Structure 1
Amino acid sequence: MNTRWVARLIWLALLTSAGSACAKDPGSSLPKLKMDAGRVAVVGLSSGAYMATQANLAYPELFPNAAMVAGGPYGCAGGKLDVALGSCMKGVPEPDVAALVITAGKRSAAGEIGALQDLAHSRIYLLHGTDDALVTPTVAEAGAHFYEQLRDHTPGLTSMQVHDDGQRAFAHNLPVVGSGDDCDKSVAPYLGHCGFDAAGEIFAQMFGKPSHAPGQARGELRSFDQNTLRPDGADAFMADTGYVYVPAACAAGKPCGLVVAFHGCKQNADAVGEAFVKDAGFNRWADVYGVAVLYPQTRASFAPLNPQACWDWWGYSGADYDSRHGVQLRWLVNAVHALGLPAGH
């Protein structure tokens, strides 16, 4: 291992925020809901954005809609941490979007990811701030260009909707309602009070305009044991406890959509408590749309090296991390099926 590689690993480890470990009761299993397979989306911030695009490409039949905040193109890292830290965060060199689109097509044809034609009616929303210094606007724009080129060069995808929202001034965080002094910063819990309701815009992009404005969240935020969903017993590098928000209408048995919300690095519950799962703004909009929100949680580790509890978008969980064989993606499939999403979708 060369000196530069070691230096990068140390640099990543030193960025770790210790956080306070939350003692939580994992609770029971996920509730069985009456899932509406036509209203399903994956969303995420930063590493969660990369995870969302991986879920979208690996299992488009399950997750046809995706919203990415401060993320880059699918397959960007290519299983290499140094590429992830350089090209896929700093944009040096810029990601080769055309090559990534070609690779995605080949991987789809080989069955490593899903059939691209399942994205025919997808809604794709890409949000990033002009003041983001961690994942630069160049990288986020490459994420948008990936979907645009995928749409334009893949037969049958002309109806895919791609919305690139990259002209808002905020740093590396998820914008939330209200004003504050953290919009131009990237500080825990990475919810920037920018006067822009990103969660509301994400729901509108994924599911159409709302019927009415949201009030306070009135559903139930439940915890569940994530270990029961390990694929074939394999360690998916998840925390013991995950969360799911269930609107009252969903709990009452009405058809329920689903949003899977992936936190960013250092934004899991062990690092920021329940800030992301309660305050990101998704829950109150979930009530309006009749959509459950699944909040899966990763865990930090040094073996494999993931001290910031990021989602795997560079290969710490194995070489097949961004394919249908990836352990975290297979865990996710188990989770949504446990919630009631039909296995045939």
Structure 2
Amino acid sequence: MKSLRSVALCALALSVAFSFTQVAQAADALPSYHADPSETSVSGLSSGAFMAVQYQVAYSASVIGAGVVAGGPYYCAAGILVNTTICMGQVPFMPPNPALMVTAAATFASTNQIDSLSNLQKARIYVFSGTKDTVVHQQAVDATVSFFEQAGVPKSNLLYVNNVPAGHAFIAPSFGNVCADNAPPYINHCAIGKKKYDQAGALLQQIYGALNPPAHSLSGKILPFDQREFAGAATGMADTGFVYVPKSCDEGTACKVHVAFHGCKQSAAVVGDDFYANTGYNYWADTNNIIVLYPQVNASTVPFNPDGCWDWFGYTGANYALKSASQLTAVHAMVGRLLDKSQTQ
């Protein structure tokens, strides 16, 4: 019996080692494609929504729009951890003050630490807050809408969806928890009337305009890639990121690039492929020539980030919301790689 157990344990160890070897071998360098530099956009849930706002504002000259699902305004925490409860709308009758964030952003822009706020006059923004969200409350998301308006985004370019009885989650048409849940994997399914709500499609069409219907089956593939080329361990970012590449983009079509930021406790290390395979982005991307980048950040002790959140309050440094921030810089470099056909291996 002992020998059998030893053999079984040995086989298990070899299997695990082989699996890790496969992952390591699969995580090659991020390829380059013939992507269109004028068609880059971002979106995210929760900490990923805060990150999408930061990326949109910091790189507004090269980002045409953002989808913000349960996220607060730019630079809300101002690098101070105790401010996060206000920024998540968890302090009754004390919502974030978007005017202060616009002033901060204007100051950063005046010293070229972020792009000019005038670029936001052309941005197209989708914002969502579920009425049953108990993590990031609507008063915080209301402030996000107000921030963008005060920063120059025309009201005609803003779509705010705040009447769906959803919990704290990204809304996929046919995957995840029931609509009102506030629970892992933070992907829910909801219906408006009798129609399934497709959040990926809603935000992508707000950003890009009318799109072809989503694919029924995917022509492309999800590729793991080595994030360490772009971000050291001190950034809190994971070893491996993911990218969905439609067949058309792989064959040379000039494609758009969309960056989808997961939320806290929602990286691949925690929820597997739930976020990068089951949120619906890829099906819209497949029929509309969109490459979807899924960068990853994991829980860590150094830097201290126990829930695997994107840095929207300063755990990587005081410059976390500026173009010089380690996570923003890393993701921007990934986008640059996707846009640079000359780097194709």
Give 1:118 shift. 2.1
Answering whether residue 159 of structure 2 is matched by residue 163 of structure 1, we say yes
Q: Partners of 1:160 and 1:50 in 2: how far apart?
A: 22
Answering whether residue 313 of structure 2 is matched by residue 317 of structure 1, we say no
TM-score by length of 2: 0.87
Counterpart in the other structure of 2:124: 123
Distance 1:237 1:248, change over 3 A: same
Equivalent residues of 1:91, 1:138 under 8 A apart = no
Counterpart in the other structure of 1:223: 224
Equivalent residues of 1:125, 1:162 under 8 A apart = yes
Equivalent residues of 2:64, 2:207 under 8 A apart = no
Deviations 1:24-60 (CA, angstroms, capped at 9, x unpaired): 3352111110111222110000000000000011111
SS across alignment from 2:235: coil
Answering whether residue 247 of structure 2 is matched by residue 248 of structure 1, we say yes
Answering whether residue 104 of structure 2 is matched by residue 108 of structure 1, we say no
Distance 1:219 1:41, change over 3 A: same
Picking from 162, 171, 178, the partner of 1:175 is: 171
RMSD: 2.0
Q: Partners of 1:120 and 1:43 in 2: how far apart?
A: 18
Q: Partners of 2:134 and 2:326 in 1: how far apart?
A: 30
Distance 1:109 1:243, change over 3 A: same
Q: Partners of 2:176 and 2:42 in 1: how far apart?
A: 28
Q: Partners of 1:239 and 1:99 in 2: how far apart?
A: 33
Structure 2 unaligned blocks of 5 or more: 1-18, 191-195
Q: Which has the larger radius of gyration?
A: 2
Answering whether residue 303 of structure 2 is matched by residue 304 of structure 1, we say yes
Q: Partners of 2:338 and 2:65 in 1: how far apart?
A: 18
Counterpart in the other structure of 2:270: 271
Q: Partners of 1:134 and 1:88 in 2: how far apart?
A: 7
Aligned residue pairs: how many? 315
SS across alignment from 1:243: strand
Paired residues for 1:22-171 under 5 Å: 23=20, 24-25=23-24, 27-92=27-92, 93-151=94-152, 158=154, 161-171=157-167
Give 1:254 shift. 0.5
TM-score by length of 1: 0.87
Give 1:74 shift. 0.5
Picking from 188, 191, 196, the partner of 1:192 is: 188
Answering whether residue 338 of structure 2 is matched by residue 339 of structure 1, we say yes
More deviation in 161-170 or 135-144?
161-170
Counterpart in the other structure of 1:329: 328
Give 1:121 shift. 1.4
Equivalent residues of 1:37, 1:257 under 8 A apart = yes
Residue identity over aligned pairs, in percent, reads 36
